[in-house]
Structure 1
Amino acid sequence: MELPAVNLKVILLVHWLLTTWGCIAFSGSYAWSNFTILALGVWAVAQRDSIDAIGMFLGGLVTTIFLDIVYISIFYSKFATGDTGRFSAGMAILSLLLKPFSCCLVYHMHRERGGELRPGFFGPSQERSVYQTIDSPDSPAEPFADLEDRGQAVPRGY
């Protein structure tokens, strides 16, 4: 099954709007969890090549599905009494219903960026080519030996 091509910015905008409307009645942990995950989504938009950013956004969306179910089920009867409360609860529920579809789209984007789900999904980043190992032959045995050879001052304490 081919998923439609949806821009990550559209997903963020829809969930931001629904979360904002959901926060009219639901606040506290509902707002913190959802807006934190939306911030991860902004990170995923800003760093288009980052597998970690899109992976954390995907993991956060999955987590907020569970958190939203718990939060709405506990506090629905307390806040959904008037018209504003029912509207807010409806938007929170609509956001919850759209999240599994959003997860499918974000997972597709995760795969396009080269990510894969495996047992070590939450482990260290796959992008290790940028880092220099500690035992690299390029690193000198004495950190400031090259400064002493050139007659330059060595920082104190070494």
Structure 2
Amino acid sequence: MELPVVNLKVILLVHWLLTTWGCIVFSGPYAWANFTILALGVWAVAQRDSLDAIGMFLGGLLATIFLDIVHISIFYPRSSLSDTGRFSAGMAILSLLLKPFSCCLVYHMHRERGGVLPFHTDFPGPQEHSAYQTIDSPEAPADPFAGPEGRNQATSRGY
């Protein structure tokens, strides 16, 4: 299964718009959680090569799925909901429904940047291993702190 190529900016724009509309009814913690994660997404756009940025954005999206379920289920207004309130709640729920798909797309971007998850997964998609260097490669230095002079730079600097 091949995932569609979607720009990270489009994912951010869609979730920003849906979150903004969702904040009409759900404010406070809902807004803080979602806009904080969107800020991490802006960081991931600004630093295209950063694994930390895209990884934190992915982890934040996963966390807000849980937080949104809890927040919407607790604070959903059950009586006297106006048309604006129904629209706002619908946009918050639509954002929640789109987040798993967004997570799949962001995970694919994470893999393209060279990131791996800390556990084994058989997530669909190509796996490129040709860029890895073997452990017993002769190019690998014996001491990772050794400088061009061959002495340990960590101990010579007082670390």
Q: TM-score over 0.5 for the alignment?
A: yes
State the shift of 1:78 in Å.
5.0
Structure 2 residues without counterparts, runs of 5 or longer: 120-143, 146-150
AA at the equivalent of 1:11: I
Match of 1:87 in 2: 87
* Distance in 1 between residues matched to 2:76 and 2:111, nearest whole Å: 36
Asked if the contact 1:21–1:92 (Cα under 8 Å) also holds between the matched residues in 2, the reply is yes
Question: How many residues are matched?
Answer: 131
CA gap 1:27/1:80 in 2 versus in 1, 3 angstroms: farther
State the shift of 1:77 in Å.
2.3
CA gap 1:36/1:52 in 2 versus in 1, 3 angstroms: same
Match of 1:26 in 2: 26
* Distance in 2 between residues matched to 1:79 and 1:137, nearest whole Å: 68
Structure 1 residues without counterparts, runs of 5 or longer: 120-131, 143-158
Alignment equivalent of 2:153, drawn from 128, 133, 137: 137
Which structure has the larger Rg over C-alpha atoms? 1
Match of 2:41 in 1: 41
State the shift of 1:86 in Å.
0.6
Asked if the contact 1:58–1:106 (Cα under 8 Å) also holds between the matched residues in 2, the reply is yes
Match of 2:104 in 1: 104
* Distance in 2 between residues matched to 1:8 and 1:54, nearest whole Å: 10
State the shift of 1:118 in Å.
1.2
Match of 2:61 in 1: 61
State the shift of 1:139 in Å.
6.8
Find runs of 4+ consecutive structure 1 residues off by over 3 angstroms: 138-142
* Distance in 1 between residues matched to 2:89 and 2:157, nearest whole Å: 63
CA gap 1:139/1:80 in 2 versus in 1, 3 angstroms: farther
AA at the equivalent of 1:68: D
CA gap 1:13/1:82 in 2 versus in 1, 3 angstroms: same
CA gap 1:53/1:80 in 2 versus in 1, 3 angstroms: farther
SS in 1 for 2:88: helix
Q: CA RMSD in A?
A: 2.4
